[in-house]
Amino acid sequence: MTVAAIEPSVVENLVRRLTGIVGPDGLINSQAELLVYECDGYTLEKNRPDVVVFPTATEQVVEIVKLCREMRVPFLPRGSGTSLAGGCLPVGGGVIISLARMKRILEIDLRNRFALVEAGVINMWLTNRIKSEGWHYAPDPSSQGACTIGGNVATNSGGPHTLKYGVTVNHVMGVEIVMPDGTVQTLGGPVEDGPGLDLTGVVVGSEGTFGVVTKAWVRLVRNPESVRTLLGVFESVDDATAAISAIIGAGIVPAALEMLDSLILKAVEEAFSFGFPLDAGAVLIMEVDGLDAGLGEEAARIEKLAKANRAREVRRANTEAERLLLWKCRKQAFGAVGRLAPSYCTQDGVVPRTALPEMLRSITAIGDRHKIRIANVFHAGDGNLHPILLFDERDPDQLRRVMEASHEILDECLRLGGSVTGEHGIGVEKIDFMAKLFSPDDLAAMRRVRQAFNPDGLCSPDKMLPTAGACAEAGRHKQVKPGRRAAL
Amino acid sequence: MDPTFDIDGLDLDAVAPETPEALAQVVRACRASGQPLYWVGGGLSLGAGIPATVPGTVVHMTSLDRVIDYPARDMTITAQAGIRVSRLQEILARERQTLPLDIPWPDKATLGGVLACNVSGSRRLAHGTPRDFVIGLTVVDDNGKLTRSGGRVVKNVAGYDMAKLHVGAHGTLGPMAQVTLKVRPLPPVRAWLAIPLKAGMNEAAADRAHGCAARPVAFDLLALPGGPAAWTAMIGFEGEAPAVAWQVAKAKEEFRDLAHVQIIECQPNSVDAMATRLAERTDPQSGAVVALGCLPSRTAGLAARVLADMPGAVVHALPGSGVVRAVVPEGKDPRGLLPGWRDAAGPGGWARLARAPRPWRQADSMWGPARPEEAISAAIAREMDPDRIFNPNRMRHNTRLPDGKPS
Ligand SMILES: Cc1cc2nc3c(=O)[nH]c(=O)nc-3n(C[C@H](O)[C@H](O)[C@H](O)COP(=O)(O)OP(=O)(O)OC[C@H]3O[C@@H](n4cnc5c(N)ncnc54)[C@H](O)[C@@H]3O)c2cc1C
Ligand SMILES: Cc1cc2nc3c(=O)[nH]c(=O)nc-3n(C[C@H](O)[C@H](O)[C@H](O)COP(=O)(O)OP(=O)(O)OC[C@H]3O[C@@H](n4cnc5c(N)ncnc54)[C@H](O)[C@@H]3O)c2cc1C
C-alpha cells in the first residue's frame, strides 16, 4: 500500500495516546529528535517518522500496534538502525517502534544450548556473556557491536563465520512476535521440530513486514577446540579470488574466508596499524577451526592452495591477540572507509563462488567506466560481495554515477546467476530489483504469505515487495519512491 | 505405473507428469474442477497425517527426476524433486560431495518426500535438518503457475524464504517441482562406536556427550529388544583421518566407565550404511511410529519413559537435538499414552504419531493438541490453497469437509 502523509491533528491525538501507553519518556516527536530516525545505515533515501516509541515490554508493543491499527497509521519495528538497505525507512511516516529498551537477556541454558533474549539485545552482548564458559552465538555480522538480535532475525544476517556455521535462520529456534493485528504469538521455541509449519523460518528474513519480534530463542554453539588463522598476501585481486575458488573447490569448508583489496587495506592500516603489506593487491583472511588434531594439516592444505594461486606469502596469526586484531581490522573495515571518501555506498551482491574472479574484474571495469573508486572487503567464501563505492554526496553528478555503477554491479551479479543481496536485505533500496529476480507469479506467491501475516499492510508498508502494479510495469518506468523524493 | 493408486482406502486415478510444466498443467485442470491432488514420492510416508477423505487424483512425482545443474565446485545442485535420494547421493559422491542427512530407505525415498516430511537423523547434531540445505525452490501454486523463491547461490536474502514453509508442510502448500540444495564435502573418514550402557546409565551418557571433548557428529541412544544392554549409545565421527582417530580414542576414554561390555568399533566398510540402517530400524515401512520432542537434557529420561510404557519397542533418541522416535510394538495402541508423554516432555514438549494405521490417525494423535499459532498456518493455507486441493486434511491447517468444502 502507498500511504499519504498523516494529518497533524491525527498525529497530535496519536502522540497523546501513545504517551498514555509508554509515558512521556517513552517517545520522541520533536522534529529535531526525529531527524536521527529519518534513515538508517542506508542514507540515500530519507523520510521522517511522525513519532518514535520506545516500549519496554511486549504488552506495550501490543498496545502500540493496536492503537496504530485503530488509527490506520503505518508502523515499523527498528533495532539499532544499522540496516544498509533502508529497512527502517518510515515510508509515508507513521510510528517507529524502537526495540532499543527491550534489551534483557532473559535466559541462558548451556545444557540445552539456547538463550532467550529480548529483541533489542545487541548481538555481541550475548557472546560476551557466555564466552568465559566456552560458548558463543555464531552469527557474527561485522556490525555485531551495534546491531540487535531482533534486527538480525528480521534481516537473516550473516557474518564472516556464517560460512561454516550458517546464517541467522540456522540459529533461531523460535520467536515471540506481536502480529500486525496486535495478537502475541509464540512460534517455535527451544524444543525442536514442533509439529506444524515452520513459521519461525519464514519470519526470519521477513524484514519487519510480518510483525514486531519481541523475543527470540537462539541456539548457542560451543567454541571450537582450536583455531588457525592465516593471512594470504596476493599481488592481485585476480589471484586472490582464484585461490578462493580453489579452496572451496577442494572441498575445504573454512570457518571464514574473507577478502580485503588494496584500497581497503590502506584505510584499515591507517586506522589500526596491523602491519598489512600496503603494496599487496589483496589479502585473504583464511581461518579453519575444529579439533586440534588434524587442524595443522588443514591449514597446510590451505596454505598450499594459496601458494599455488601465486600468494606472495602466507602469514599465520601466532597469538590470540594477533588473531583478534586481524578480525578487528576486518570487522571495522567499513568504519575505516571514512578515511577514503566523505561518503560511501555498500552493495551486497552474491555470485556463485566460481564466478568470483570474473565478477571482481567486472566491478573494476564498472568503476573505471563511471570514474568511481570502489573498495572491496567481503565474505569471499560464500560469494557474498561488498563493493564499497566511494564518493562525495555534495556532488550530484557523483551521486548519479554511484547509483548507475551500483545497478550495473547488481545486474552483473544476476547475469552470473547470483542475487542482489546476500545479507543486507531488500528494504527500499533494492525493491526495484525484485521484479528482475522474480516473475510476477513468484512475487504473487510471496505477497500471499505477507497477506496472511499482515493483511492490511500497515506493518512496514512498501518494503521488500514492489507494489503489484509497479511490478507488472517494472523495466518500463521507475517506481515512484516516496522516500527517495525526500532525499533528492 | 498403475493407473490407480490407493490413498487411505480411496482408489484414485493416478498421473505421473514428466516435466514441471506438465505438473502445472495437472494442477490447472484439477483446480478448475475443485478436485484434490495427492502427491506421492516413494510412498513411504503415506501413513502420516490425517487421512484423506475427499476423492481426487494421485500425482506420482517420481518421473520428475532430472538433475538440472550440478556446478560441483560451487557445492550446489539443482534437481527435480522426484529424484530418489540414493541416486542423488550417487551423483554427489562422484564429486566427493554429499547431502549429510540420514534418510531411511534411500532407494525409495524421494527428495521431495524427504523435504515435505522434514526427515532428519543422527547427524543433524552436526549438520542440521533439510530446512538448512534448501537454497532455492520451485513449486506449483494453486493456479497452476510455477513459482520460484531463493536462487542458486548459497547466501541470499532476496524475498521471503518460501522454502521454509514448504519444508515440513507435507505437500499441503503445493507440490515441490525443483530444488536447489547446498551440499557438503564427503568426509574422508567416518567412524562409529557402539557402547552398550550399564543399566540406568543412559542419562549419564547423554549428559557426558553434551560436554565431551570428542565432539561427535552424532550421539544417539538406541534401545533394541534383545540387544546386549537395554540402551546402546551410538557415537558417530567424521572428518580428516588424524582428527577421527583422535576422537575415537578420546571417546573410548570418556565413555569407558559407562560401558556394560566392551565398546564396539564398527568396521570402516560398514560405517557408510550405519546411519541409514539406524534410521531404517526406527522407521519400518509399516505399523506405527511415535515421535516426541523435548529439551536435550530431558531426552534420555523421556526415551526411558517411552520404553517403560511400551516394553519391546525400538526406541531411538537424539539427546543433542531433543528428539525421540519409537516403533510401536505389534498390538499396542499408543494413543492413550501420548498425553502423559507430553507432560513428561516438559515445557514446549510434544508427542505424536509420525505414522500409524488409518483408524488411529486423528488430528490430535497425529499433530498434537491445537496451538494458537495454527491460526497463522490456516491463514497461509487460505491464501495459498483457498479451495483446499493440495493434500487436503493432511494437516490441521488445510481441513476440507467430506462434501468438498474448505472448513
Ligand atoms: C558497518 C556495518 C557492517 C555490517 N555488516 C554486516 C554483516 O556482516 N552482515 C550482515 O548481515 N549485515 C551487516 N550489516 C547490516 C546490518 O547491521 C544488519 O542488517 C543488522 O541485522 C541490522 O540490525 P539492526 O538492529 O540495526 O536493525 P535495524 O537496522 O534497526 O532494522 C533492520 C530491519 O529489521 C527490521 N527490524 C528490526 N528489529 C525488528 C524486530 N524486533 N522485529 C521485526 N523487525 C525488526 C526493521 O524494520 C528493518 O527492516 C552491517 C551494517 C553496518 C552499518
Ligand atoms: C511425520 C514424519 C516424520 C518423519 N520423520 C522422520 C525422521 O525424523 N527420521 C527418519 O528417519 N524418517 C522420518 N520419517 C520417514 C520419512 O518421511 C520418509 O522416509 C520419507 O519422507 C519418504 O519420502 P517419500 O518420497 O517416500 O515420500 P512419500 O511417502 O511419497 O510422501 C510423503 C509426503 O510428502 C508429500 N510429497 C511427496 N513428494 C512431494 C513433493 N515433490 N512436493 C510436495 N509434497 C510431496 C506427500 O504428499 C506426502 O504427504 C518421517 C515420516 C513422517 C511421516
Res. B286 pLDDT band, cuts 50 70 90: confident
Cell numbers for A177, please give them: 512476535
Round to whole Å and give the CA distance between B16 and B62.
7
Q: Which residue of A has its CA nearest to B366?
A: A195
Q: What local confidence, expressed as pLDDT, does residue B404 receive?
A: 66
Q: Which helix (H) or strand (E) holds B91?
A: helix B85-94
Round to whole Å and give the CA distance between A113 and A223.
12
Three-class DSSP category at A82: coil
Within 8 A of A153 by CB-CB distance, chain B residues are none
Look-up of cell digits 551482491 = A349
Contact B156 A422 (CB under 8 A): yes
Same domain, B71 and B181: yes
Q: Which residue of B has its CA nearest to A293?
A: B243
Q: What local confidence, expressed as pLDDT, does residue A483 receive?
A: 40
Ligand 2 atom nearest the C-alpha of B114 is: 21
Tens-digit pLDDT profile for residues A20-52: 999 999 999 999 999 999 999 998 889 999 999
Res. A393 pLDDT band, cuts 50 70 90: confident
Using left for φ > 0, alpha for ψ between -120 and 50, and beta otherwise, residue A339 falls in: alpha
b/e per residue A406-444 (b: at least 16 CB within 10 A): bbbbbbbbbebbbbbbbbbbbbbbbbbbbbebbebebbb
Range of the domain at B292: 281-367
Distance from Cα B341 to the centre of ligand 2, integer Å = 24
CATH number of the domain that residue B311 is part of: 3.30.70
Q: What local confidence, expressed as pLDDT, does residue A4 receive?
A: 63
Same domain, B96 and B130: yes
Same domain, B98 and B149: yes
Same domain, B196 and B249: yes
Contact B153 A419 (CB under 8 A): yes
CB A10, CB A73: distance < 8 Å: yes
Same domain, B77 and B175: yes
Res. A476 pLDDT band, cuts 50 70 90: very low
What lies within 8 Å, CB to CB, of A161 at 6+ separation is: A138, A139, A140, A255, A256, A287
Q: How is A220-277 classified by DSSP, letter by letter? A: -EEPPSEEEEEEEEESSHHHHHHHHHHHHHTT---SEEEEEEHHHHHHHHHHH-----
Query: Span A461-468, mean pLDDT?
Result: 89
Structural domains in chain A? 8-98 (3.30.43.10), 105-222 (3.30.465.10), 226-333 (3.30.70.2190), 337-469 (3.30.70.2740)
Cell numbers for A145, please give them: 557491536
Within 8 A of B368 by CB-CB distance, chain A residues are 195
In-domain check, residue B407: no
Three-class DSSP category at A211: coil
Round to whole Å and give the CA distance between A107 and A146.
21
Contact A253 B349 (CB under 8 A): no
Chain A nearest-CA distance from B289, in A, is 15
Round to whole Å and give the CA distance between A255 and A240.
17
| pTM of structure | 0.95
Last residue of a domain, one of B243, B275, B307: B275
Cell numbers for A164, please give them: 561454516
pLDDT of B280 > 80? The answer is: no
Residues in chain B, overall count: 407
Q: What local confidence, expressed as pLDDT, does residue B269 receive?
A: 59
Nearest Cα residue to A212 out of A240, A172, A185: A185
More confident residue, A71 or B407: A71
Query: Span A268-282, mean pLDDT?
Result: 92
Three-class DSSP category at B21: helix
In-domain check, residue B257: yes
CB B233, CB B207: distance < 8 Å: no
Nearest Cα residue to A44 out of A473, A379, A346, A348: A346
Ligand found nearest the CA of A102: 1
Chain A nearest-CA distance from B11, in A, is 28
Same domain, B83 and B103: yes
For chain B, what is the radius of gyration of the CA atoms? 21
Residues in chain A, overall count: 488
Res. A336 pLDDT band, cuts 50 70 90: confident
Tens-digit pLDDT profile for residues B1-47: 678 999 999 999 999 999 999 999 999 999 999 999 999 999 998 88
Given the DSSP bridges, would you call strands B10-15 and B57-60 parallel, antiparallel or unpaired? Answer: parallel
pLDDT of B80 > 70? The answer is: yes
Same domain, B75 and B54: no
Query: Span A132-141, mean pLDDT?
Result: 97
Tens-digit pLDDT profile for residues A197-219: 999 999 999 999 999 999 999 99
Res. B271 pLDDT band, cuts 50 70 90: low
Q: At what angle do helices B299-309 and B202-211 cross, to 10 degrees?
A: 160
Same domain, B181 and B84: yes
Look-up of cell digits 563465520 = A161
In terms of Cβ atoms closer than 10 Å to its own Cβ (0-12, 13-18, 19+), residue B129 is buried
Last residue of a domain, one of B156, B185, B214: B185
Tens-digit pLDDT profile for residues B117-155: 998 989 999 999 999 999 999 999 999 999 999 999 999
Which of A202, A290, A418 has the CB atom closest to B165's CB atom? Answer: A202
Share of chain B above pLDDT 90, in %: 85
Within 8 A of B75 by CB-CB distance, chain A residues are 248, 353
Q: Which helix (H) or strand (E) holds B162?
A: helix B162-166
Q: Which helix (H) or strand (E) holds A117?
A: strand A114-118
Look-up of cell digits 523495466 = A475
In-domain check, residue B173: yes
In-domain check, residue B34: yes
Q: What local confidence, expressed as pLDDT, does residue B270 receive?
A: 63
Ligand found nearest the CA of B47: 2
Alpha carbon separation from B215 to A137, A182, A224, B271, B323 (Å, rounded):
18, 44, 10, 18, 19
Ligand 1 atom nearest the C-alpha of A82 is: 26
Instruction: Measure the CA dihedral A127/A131/A134/A137, to 10°.
Output: 0
In-domain check, residue B406: no
In-domain check, residue B242: yes
Q: What local confidence, expressed as pLDDT, does residue A239 receive?
A: 96
Chain B nearest-CA distance from A278, in A, is 31
How many CB pairs lie under 8 A apart between chains A and B?
253
b/e per residue A112-129 (b: at least 16 CB within 10 A): bbbbbbbbbbbbbbbbeb
CB A378, CB A163: distance < 8 Å: no
The binding-site residues of ligand 2, defined as CB within 6 angstroms of any ligand atom, are: B 38-46, 48, 61, 81, 104-105, 108-110, 112-114, 116-117, 119-121, 170-171, 175-176, 279, 283, 354-355, 391, 394
pLDDT of A249 > 80? The answer is: yes
Cell numbers for B202, please give them: 543412559
Nearest Cα residue to B292 out of B354, B199, B228: B354
Res. A251 pLDDT band, cuts 50 70 90: confident
For chain A, what is the radius of gyration of the CA atoms? 23
Round to whole Å and give the CA distance between A328 and A331.
5
Distance from Cα B170 to the centre of ligand 2, integer Å = 7
Distance from Cα B168 to the centre of ligand 2, integer Å = 9
CATH number of the domain that residue B171 is part of: 3.30.465.10
Look-up of cell digits 525400538 = B314
Cβ neighbour number for residue A280 with a 10 Å cutoff:
21
Contact B165 A465 (CB under 8 A): no
ipTM, 2 decimals?
Answer: 0.96
Ligand found nearest the CA of B61: 2
Round to whole Å and give the CA distance between A457 and A435.
20
The binding-site residues of ligand 1, defined as CB within 6 angstroms of any ligand atom, are: A 40-41, 76-84, 87-88, 99, 119, 141-143, 147-148, 150-152, 154-155, 157-159, 207-208, 212-213, 334, 423-424, 460
Three-class DSSP category at B153: coil
Same domain, B252 and B292: no
Which of A162, A248, A448 has the CB atom closest to B384's CB atom? Answer: A448
Query: Span B212-237, mean pLDDT?
Result: 92
Same domain, B32 and B87: no
Which of A155, A199, A291 has the CB atom closest to B373's CB atom? Answer: A199
In-domain check, residue B404: no
In-domain check, residue B405: no
Same domain, B166 and B178: yes
Q: How is B332-355 classified by DSSP, letter by letter? A: --GGGGHHHHHHHH-TT-EEEEEE
Distance from Cα B88 to the centre of ligand 2, integer Å = 16
Within 8 A of A172 by CB-CB distance, chain B residues are none
Same domain, B105 and B169: yes
pLDDT of A2 > 70? The answer is: no
Q: What local confidence, expressed as pLDDT, does residue A69 receive?
A: 97
CATH number of the domain that residue B231 is part of: 3.30.70.2190
Last residue of a domain, one of B254, B275, B296: B275
Cβ neighbour number for residue B121 with a 10 Å cutoff:
26
Domain count, chain B: 4
Query: Span B79-100, mean pLDDT?
Result: 97
Share of chain A above pLDDT 70, in %: 95
